[in-house]
């Protein structure tokens, strides 16, 4: 008779969510080329490992696919002065300057600049989102926003990643793994939440969760209680659309709270059914319920 092993199933699931070493090498190679190109044109240097910071889900280690790689590219402050002196939307001109630089290396790729980023779309589906920025001595950055005539904004991604990494270490790697599992839920159920919102909610959920640092054998309960955490908030505040970001002073918008509430309720109910199936030793039902939540990366029966 088949038996249920919670640890084996969830550890296998988490391994299945990891980005392959081949893909990681592709990302690393392209990142080096991008950094070297920018350094040649803006810093008069052929370095491929300076003046950049990988941010976003890939930088936090929570990505389960490499469709978007977010990179802050540092430029000299002399470039800020040059574009700040433009009579109209120097921010747009800055993005176009970076785009023209990258076209020298990636002439056959689709490269566009708009908003705050320069996008490079590769034929294999991987996209780099480059944010040209100017670094302050305290580690924060000033970056361009081309919208509404152009403006300069500030961000501190290094501190946000520090907070996230510290929490992940405190909880024995459970924060990163919960975020990856939640992305699998997002893909399976088409949950309308951006990755940074998922990561932020997980970050705050684990802060007051009694099993936050426990091993894989608790991952069924962690999953269930995470869905309940989101559901409880949305039941108390059905239109709650402002959630704390990892940076405690910032908020992030949930654009479709009603839809997220429905998906959270469905996932919570399925996880309760899976846990009941485990207690009853219903091997096939256990796998069926988790795969209904997380998709085919969760082990089959």
Tens-place pLDDT, residues 167-221: 999 999 999 999 999 999 999 999 999 999 999 999 999 999 999 999 999 999 9
Q: Would you call 132 helix, strand, or coil by DSSP?
A: strand
pLDDT over 70 at 65, yes or no:
yes
The pLDDT of residue 301 is 85
Residue 67 reports pLDDT greater than 90: no
Q: Which residue(s) pair with 71 in the sheet?
A: 54, 130
- In angstroms, the CA 293 to CA 72 distance is 34
Residue 72: its pLDDT value, please?
A: 97
Q: What's the mean per-residue pLDDT of the chain?
A: 95
Write the CA distances from 47 to 35, 132, 292, integer angstroms: 7, 17, 47
Listed in sequence order, the residues at least 6 apart from 231 whose beta carbon sits closer than 8 Å to its beta carbon are: 261, 264, 265, 268
CA distances from 127 to 35, 50, 122, 256, 289 (A): 15, 21, 6, 25, 33
**What's the mean pLDDT in 248-275?**
95
Taking the C-alpha atoms of residue 54 and residue 180, their distance in angstroms, rounded to an integer, is: 18
pLDDT at 3 over 90: no
Spatial distance between the Cα atoms of 203 and 231, rounded to a whole number of angstroms: 16
Q: In a 3-state reduction of DSSP, which class is residue 116?
A: coil
d(CA 180, CA 161): 16
Mean pLDDT computed over 34-44? 97
pLDDT (tens digit per residue) in 90-134: 999 999 999 999 999 998 789 988 889 999 999 988 999 999 999
3-class state of residue 151 by DSSP: strand
Q: Identify the pLDDT of residue 193.
A: 96
Neighbours of 212 (CB within 10 A): 18
Confidence grade of residue 256 (pLDDT, cut at 50, 70, 90): very high
Q: Return the pLDDT at 109.
A: 84
Q: What is the pLDDT of residue 240?
A: 87
Q: Which two tokens stand for residue 80?
A: 């800020």
| Cβ(117)–Cβ(171) below 8 Å | no
Q: Which tens digit of pLDDT belongs to each residue from 224-247? A: 999 999 999 999 998 889 999 998
Query: Does residue 1 have a pLDDT over 60?
Result: no
């Amino acid at each position: 008779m088949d038996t249920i092993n919670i640890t084996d199933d969830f550890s296998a699931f988490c391994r299945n969510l990891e980005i392959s070493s081949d893909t990681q090498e592709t990302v690393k190679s392209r990142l080096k080329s991008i950094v070297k190109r920018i350094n040649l044109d803006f810093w008069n240097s052929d370095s491929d490992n300076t003046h950049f910071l990988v941010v976003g889900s890939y930088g936090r280690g929570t990505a389960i696919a490499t469709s978007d790689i977010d990179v802050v590219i540092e430029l000299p402050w002399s470039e800020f002065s040059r574009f700040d002196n433009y009579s109209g939307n120097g921010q747009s001109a800055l993005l176009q300057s970076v785009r023209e630089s990258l076209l020298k290396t990636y002439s056959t790729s689709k490269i566009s600049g708009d908003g705050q980023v320069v996008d490079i779309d590769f034929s294999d589906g991987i996209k780099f989102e480059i944010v040209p920025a100017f670094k302050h001595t305290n580690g924060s950055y000033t970056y361009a926003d081309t919208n509404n005539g152009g403006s300069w904004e500030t961000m501190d991604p290094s501190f946000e990643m520090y907070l996230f990494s510290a929490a992940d270490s405190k909880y024995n790697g459970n924060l990163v793994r919960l975020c990856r599992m939640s992305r699998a839920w997002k893909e399976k159920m088409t949950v309308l939440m951006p990755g940074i919102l998922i990561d932020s909610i997980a970050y705050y959920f684990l802060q007051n969760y009694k099993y936050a640092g426990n091993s894989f054998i608790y991952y069924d309960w962690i999953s269930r209680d995470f869905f309940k955490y989101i559901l409880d908030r949305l039941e108390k505040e059905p239109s709650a659309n402002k959630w704390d970001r990892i940076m405690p002073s910032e908020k992030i918008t949930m654009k479709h709270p009603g839809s997220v509430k429905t998906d959270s309720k469905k996932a919570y109910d399925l996880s309760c059914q899976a846990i009941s199936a485990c207690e009853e030793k219903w091997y096939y039902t256990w796998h069926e319920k988790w795969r209904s939540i997380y998709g085919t990366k969760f082990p089959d029966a």
